[in-house]
Amino acid sequence: MNGLNRIFSVAMITAATALTGCETAGENPQLVALAQEVPPPVTSDAVLFRITDRELRFYSLPDLQDAGWTLPKRRLDVDAVVGFAPSSQQLFVLSDDSVLTAFDLVGGLVRTIDSSISMATVGANGVPLVVGNSGSVGSISQRQVSVWADSVALGSRRVWGSHGGRILTETIDSESRTLRTFSSRGAPTSVNVPTGPMAISRWAELVAVATPSAVELRGTRGESHDPSVIDVLEGPEQIVFSASGHQIFVTTSGGLLIWFDRFTGARLGSAPVGQVGQMRVGRLGRYLFIQQSGVDSVHVFDIHQDRLVSKLGTRWTNSIPSVAPNGTVLVRDENDILALDPNTFAETGRVSGGAADLWAVAAWTPVQPVSQRQAVEAVDEEYLDGDGPLYVQVSSSQNEAWAQELATGLSRAGLAASVLSPEDKEQLYRVVLGPFSTRDEAESAGRTLGRPYWIFSPSAPKDEL
């Protein structure tokens, strides 16, 4: 790998996903092996999305470098990030007034998909699934909702994407809880489960529910056999599955974290964690984040090593702390978003003042939409015969030190790189190549980068750039 590729490449390890079922290890020993297999690493870029009230911004990982371009967003109040659909390269968000919106990252467009959606999710297989205000269920295809034949009960409050493109919904009242699975083909199935704390496996084919002294495991598709029971005499409170589904983590009223083999029910270990609010497994399956009640502090448990490895000062939100596709750990530090090295937890990047915005991660390379690149090229043409020099913009950042570091790396690779300081508080530190006297010279330098770039002249009027 040459010097330039080392600068710009970000490795990603895919989430450990496995086939799991309701059989015990004794009935199907191959199942245990499958559940513990880890897919080979896949190389891709990792990106952090930032949704503000004005735009969608992009940051590469692990250094949180600003991509230097944005996707404008119509004025709407986004309540939640639904998820990223890799096949269509769209990021879906949902507003509190039931408007489902898609950011088309290829076309550079913002589209309203439907204005009557109460719940939505992107399943583990990347299929966007929705529940309408009227109870209708369906999937998103060709930028519109494909409605299925059956409807959910009004009052359903949560939704998950299940295996095979199915939708799992939860309806609960004071005395009972019902899980229903819907499909584009075939009748829905349902299962009644206790109303205690609950966890759903990654593929939503299994549910674990806490009772006063045990954890019950059931299939979500109405299987008729009796549930498996794991005794937890300490009083279970919070439950979560490992990413592969072969372990279950339980916190207790006595302040313990206990983990069990999902197939055999064997107790594998325990650790003191104090009183716990919530738990979340990072997307690669390595880390379990454990929120401490009443304080902005999170325990980090390494599932591979079966031990607590760190304690982070971070506020808990719907998306933070989390793990990006390349392994970077993302946390909140007061008003900032931080990227941490997954092995040392040392800071690798920071976005200042962004904690109040919505965030999401995905395996995607931030490539400026064709429509925006063409617009920039059209502006460039106006200044080819002007007095100002031409530059090739490589990247931009709010952090001067990181911009200088990137420019230094490019210079060591034999390129004429430098940093242009912002002229006002709305601008960023630009990492550029140049100056060049002709567009051909600038284009020739840009093509050596092996990544998106654009050409500009600082002397061009700001309202035209």
The class (CATH top level) of 370-456 is alpha beta
Query: Is 461 strand, coil or helix?
Result: coil
E-assigned strands of 174-327?
177-182, 189-193, 198-200, 206-211, 214-219, 228-231, 236-241, 247-252, 256-261, 267-272, 276-281, 287-292, 298-302, 307-312, 322-323
Superfamily of domain 76-193: YVTN repeat-like/Quinoprotein amine dehydrogenase (2.130.10.10)
What's the pTM value of the predicted model, to 2 decimals? 0.71
List CB contacts of 7: < 8 A, sequence separation 6 or more. Answer: 406, 409, 410, 413
Per residue of the chain (465 residues), give pLDDT as tens. Answer: 444 443 333 333 233 333 233 333 334 433 333 343 333 333 347 999 999 888 899 999 999 999 888 887 667 778 999 999 988 889 999 998 899 999 988 878 888 899 999 999 998 888 899 999 989 999 998 778 899 999 888 778 899 999 888 999 999 877 789 999 999 988 999 999 998 999 999 999 999 999 999 999 999 987 666 789 999 988 999 999 999 999 999 999 999 999 999 999 999 999 999 999 999 999 899 999 999 999 999 999 999 999 999 999 999 998 999 999 999 999 999 999 999 999 999 999 999 998 989 999 999 887 777 555 544 444 444 444 445 688 888 887 778 878 888 888 787 777 888 888 887 766 788 888 988 888 778 888 887 776 667 787 776 544 333
The CA distances from residue 114 to 10, 129, 205, in Å, are: 35, 12, 28
Q: Residue 373's pLDDT is what?
A: 53
| Domain residue spans of the chain | 76-193, 370-456
What is the rounded distance in angstroms from the CA atom of residue 251 to the CA atom of residue 257? Answer: 4
Q: Residue 371's pLDDT is what?
A: 54
Q: Are 234 and 254 contacting, i.e. CB atoms less than 8 angstroms apart? A: yes
